[in-house]
Structures are given as C-alpha cells and as structure tokens.
C-alpha cells in the first residue's frame, strides 16, 4: 500500500488519471478518492459498503470512490471523501491510492487558505501541481483565492502572470 496526495491547482485530475493509467499498466491496483471534492466520473463507485470498492478493484484493478457531494440534479456531479472506516480499509486493499487533496474551483493556480490542502496522515508522497495555462493571464482570471495574496507575492488582480509569479505561488 502506497498513498499519494495530489495538491495545488490546474492539473490535479489529469495527474491522477495519468498516474492511474501508468500504475494499472504495471499491474497494480489503484484506488482514487478525495479529501475535498472532485468531479464524479461515469465509473465512480458510491459505496454502500466496503465490498463495493473491493469488487471494483478486483475486477478492473481500478476504483474511483467517494460519497455524493452535490444534489443528484446538479449540472456537475461531485464526490466528497469516503467515510473514515471505508477509507482506511480501501487503502489497504489497493496497491496505490491517489487522493485529490485540494481544490481550486477550476483555476490553474491558487493561494491556499490556512486549512488547505487536506492531507491525510497516512501519506507517502505529495505531488504539487500548477497549471501552465495561467501564464500570460491576468491574476484575477487565473488564481483561486487571489484575495489571500500578500505583498511578498507581488500579485494583484491585473498582474499578468509570468513564470516567476508561478514559482512564487508554488513556494
């Protein structure tokens, strides 16, 4: 069992999909879940019990699982975290667990709040991502929680983002 948290903005889900594909091709079983919210995919398991996750992992080598986080009639369906007991058991069932542990409301960059990212205690690795699509855009259009920027970042709403700005945001 190995657990990786993916945090940051602009590429978390793509990173998870790429890692999932690589690990499954290596013959490893992969659990994908979240500690915040993530878009529900067509094959996402909303488990009634741990057997639902175990069955999916055994049949396909892959299981995305979480609990409903949006109303059924919402335009974009999202999942939230698994119950703690499901999470603890499911992690032991999979070779690799990939956790989307941060949110950015679809923006390519972000300034995290004090309570972010939401990283479980059993993490082996953390991958931090930032979307290069933020380059050349005004910060107001590309940075989630821009209001949390301090003077050290030297980023205001009309700042056109450069590689140096993205480097500062990653730090």
**The pLDDT value given to residue 83:** 96
| pLDDT at 136 > cutoff 90 | yes
Q: Which of 81, 91, 97 is nearest to 34 (CA)?
A: 81
pLDDT category at 117 given cuts 50, 70, 90 is very high
Q: Confidence band (pLDDT; 50, 70, 90) for 149?
A: confident
Q: What confidence category does residue 152 fall into, taking pLDDT thresholds of 50, 70 and 90?
A: confident
Q: Give yes or no for a contact between 18 and 25, defined as CB atoms under 8 angstroms apart.
A: no
Q: What is the pLDDT averaged over residues 133-147?
A: 94
């Amino acid at each position: 069992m190995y657990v990786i948290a993916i945090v940051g903005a602009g590429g978390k889900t793509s990173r998870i999909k790429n890692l999932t594909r690589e690990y499954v091709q290596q013959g490893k079983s992969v659990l994908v879940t979240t500690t915040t919210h993530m878009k529900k995919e067509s094959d996402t398991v909303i488990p009634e019990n741990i057997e639902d996750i175990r069955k999916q992992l055994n049949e396909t080598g892959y299981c995305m699982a979480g609990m409903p986080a949006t109303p059924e009639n919402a335009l974009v369906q999202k999942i939230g975290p698994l119950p703690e007991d499901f999470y603890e058991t499911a992690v032991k069932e999979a070779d690799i667990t990939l956790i989307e542990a941060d949110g950015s409301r679809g923006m390519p960059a972000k300034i995290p709040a004090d309570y972010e990212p939401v990283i479980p205690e059993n993490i082996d690795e953390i991958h931090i991502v930032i979307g290069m699509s933020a380059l050349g855009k005004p910060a107001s259009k590309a940075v989630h929680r821009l209001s949390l920027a301090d003077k050290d970042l030297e980023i205001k709403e009309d700042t056109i983002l450069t590689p140096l700005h993205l480097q500062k945001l990653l730090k």
